[in-house]
């Protein structure tokens, strides 16, 4: 087999591997979205309960505890800083959602 044909076969194999990896990433992204939606629904429920109780949605101590928990549970390859940033944003967006929750009818 010539060097050119071998390079072409490798390129095709590499492209198939890349397509397969991207397909798996797309599937994981779908799972992440489903989990974020579940978390969002729970955040709405928390917001409703806190409004019924006359409490503020924002609880800085709880948010710190959530961040500590996820950073401590992280086993890589994401750095602790990356995990904290990602979850800080998730918590912030879900807090906003909880704050917008209306009381149940």
What is the domain partition of the chain in residue ranges?
Answer: 3-99
| CA–CA distance, 4 with 14 (Å, rounded to integer) | 15
What pLDDT digit, counting tens, does each position of 37-78 carry?
Answer: 999 999 999 999 999 999 999 999 999 999 999 999 999 999
User: Which one is the CATH code of 3-99: 3.30.1740.10, 1.10.10.10, 3.60.20.10, 1.20.59.10?
Assistant: 1.20.59.10
Question: What's the pLDDT at 98?
Answer: 92
Question: Cβ contacts of residue 71 below 8 Å, gap of 6+?
Answer: 80, 83, 84, 87
The rounded mean pLDDT for the chain is 91
């Amino acid at each position: 087999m010539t060097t050119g044909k071998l390079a072409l076969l490798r390129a095709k194999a590499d492209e198939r591997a890349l397509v397969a990896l991207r397909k798996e990433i797309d599937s994981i992204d779908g799972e992440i979205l489903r989990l974020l939606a579940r978390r969002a629904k729970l955040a709405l429920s928390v917001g409703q309960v806190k409004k019924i109780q006359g409490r503020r949605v924002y609880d800085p101590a709880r948010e710190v505890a959530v961040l500590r928990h996820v950073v401590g549970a992280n086993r890589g390859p994401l750095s602790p800083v990356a995990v904290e940033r990602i979850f800080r944003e998730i918590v912030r967006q879900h807090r906003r959602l909880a704050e917008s929750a209306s009381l149940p009818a």
